[in-house]
Structure 1
Amino acid sequence: RLRRRRAGAGGLETAPPRQTPRDEYDLGIGYMQRRDYALAEQTMRNFTQKYPNDPMIGDAQYWLGESLYQRQQYRDAAEIFLTVTTKHDKSSKAADALLRLGQSLAALKEKEAACAAFGEVTRKYPRASVGVKTAVDKEQKRVKC
């Protein structure tokens, strides 16, 4: 939606639309889809700071962690994924975050903690998607839990 206001000399000038939390979240998702992880990180960080009580906060945190994970910043990613699984454990991305937490820990050579995270996924989220459960299974074998 563009708001129009009169400009001088009879022309029309358009004002940028106001951004809603959803617009900002979608912008971050767009950056993720384009694999522009630095801009995705920046956008999701802004989102989490500006809208800490938004219903999408858990998902935004997950994507923030994912933007770090994709750039192999495993320690920072692990901290973010841990936040999702503890503070936003009802988020639609909570099971994915716990899986990614395990993968981040495995990448940091913290096998015991990684295996604990993988084991926790199906216990804490018995209704996790088949994709998540399959990935957990694969990771447990890869890390030799």
Structure 2
Amino acid sequence: MLRFSVTDFKTSIGAALALGLAVASVPAQAQDDAEVRIRALEAQVRALQRVVFPGGDGRFFEPQVDRGTSSQGGSQAGTPATGAVTDILARLEALETELARLTSLAEENRNDLRGLDTRLTTLESAAEAEAVAETAEVTVAPETTTAVAVPEQREEPSAERVAAVAAIVKPQSDDPGDDEYTYGFRLWDAGFYPEARQQLKIFVRDYPNHPLISFGRNLIGRAYLDDGDPEQAAAWFVENYTSDKTGRRAADSVLYLAIAMIRRNETERACTALGVFSREFAAEAVGRLETLYNTTRERVNCS
């Protein structure tokens, strides 16, 4: 992992440039000190190169100047007094060029890493959705796999039941979609589960884009679960979660899917649903659904 930043580069080159401008007006001893500091900067650049190109790149920075040394290793006679300044400025220019190249490579690396993070997040989300769907690989009647209002085959209700259902008031407001959902909720709350399912399926069919759609699909699953049919309930819980993972009752559907699997003695699938719930809905696990989550976990032994 790269451990340098553009700020570090700018700070180093800024100090080096300031040093080069000061050299022209200082004595020989100060120029010797400048030489030491320039060499230190060059060493830092080489260290950065080793980080960017850990295997060797063949393009490492080398000072592109002639130090004016003779065959005996001493300074050449007749070197102009401005040679030291020229040497420093040339080396600073080379440093600035190399730092710019390293900065560009670092930015490319960051962009590549961001792209990888995005791809990993997408893959993880798809895998989690598939894991939830796999927990409900059950035989489901065609009418319950799609949000349509199909009358359920059941015994003819008694006169007393018909009268009790008729007593449930259907609201009349300026939001007919809300009225349909609220009526289905009232039927479910009163324990009339088949009637509630039929009413809620009408709501889901007629108002697929309503703000309460996630509530509606989830409540159909609840109405099946409360009526002793975890198989059909699981299908609706999966549909609600996979249709909109950000839906306002998506978390409830995943948790109730685990409950449905427990009732079917499907321990492994129940644990899968609980795992997805804890990862994707951590805030709900310690908030609104904390009690239900904890009691559900106590009912199953997940390794």
Where does the alignment leave 5 or more consecutive residues of structure 1 unmatched?
1-15
1:9: which partner in 2?
none
Structure 1 counterpart SS, 2:209? coil
Q: CA offsets per residue over residues 77-104 of structure 1, 9 Å max, x none? A: 0010011111122222111111100000
Distance 1:50 1:117, change over 3 A: same
| Amino acid of the structure 2 residue aligned with 1:113 | R
Range moving further from structure 2, 135-144 or 92-101:
135-144
Distance 1:143 1:63 in 2: 24
Q: Does residue 186 of structure 2 align to residue 26 of structure 1?
A: no
| Amino acid of the structure 2 residue aligned with 1:36 | F
> 2:173–2:179: 8 Å Cα contact kept in structure 1?
no
How far has the Cα of 1:18 moved from its partner? 8.1
Distance 1:24 1:143, change over 3 A: same
Q: Does residue 224 of structure 2 align to residue 68 of structure 1?
A: yes
> 1:122–1:133: 8 Å Cα contact kept in structure 2?
no
How far has the Cα of 1:137 moved from its partner? 2.3
| Amino acid of the structure 2 residue aligned with 1:142 | R
Distance 1:106 1:17, change over 3 A: closer
Distance 2:251 2:201 in 1: 21
Matching of residues 70-109 of structure 1 within 5 Å: 70-109=226-265
> 2:188–2:223: 8 Å Cα contact kept in structure 1?
yes
How far has the Cα of 1:138 moved from its partner? 2.1
Structure 1 counterpart SS, 2:194? helix
Q: CA offsets per residue over residues 50-98 of structure 1, 9 Å max, x none? A: 1122221111000111000001111110010011111122222111111
Aligned-residue sequence identity (percent) comes to: 26
Distance 2:173 2:255 in 1: 37
Runs of 4+ in 1 over 3 A off after TM superposition: 16-19
Q: Does residue 184 of structure 2 align to residue 52 of structure 1?
A: no
Structure with the largest fraction of strand: 1
Higher Cα Rg, which structure: 2
Distance 2:173 2:288 in 1: 38
| Amino acid of the structure 1 residue aligned with 2:182 | D
Distance 2:214 2:175 in 1: 20
Structure 1 counterpart SS, 2:299? helix
Where does the alignment leave 5 or more consecutive residues of structure 2 unmatched?
1-171
> 1:37–1:68: 8 Å Cα contact kept in structure 2?
yes
Distance 1:137 1:59 in 2: 22
Q: Does residue 270 of structure 2 align to residue 140 of structure 1?
A: no
1:113: which partner in 2?
269
Structure 1 counterpart SS, 2:248? coil
How far has the Cα of 1:17 moved from its partner? 7.9
> 2:257–2:273: 8 Å Cα contact kept in structure 1?
yes
Structure 1 counterpart SS, 2:283? coil
> 2:240–2:253: 8 Å Cα contact kept in structure 1?
yes
State the TM-score, normalizing by the size of structure 1.
0.82
Distance 1:33 1:118, change over 3 A: same
Match of 2:283 among 101, 105, 127: 127
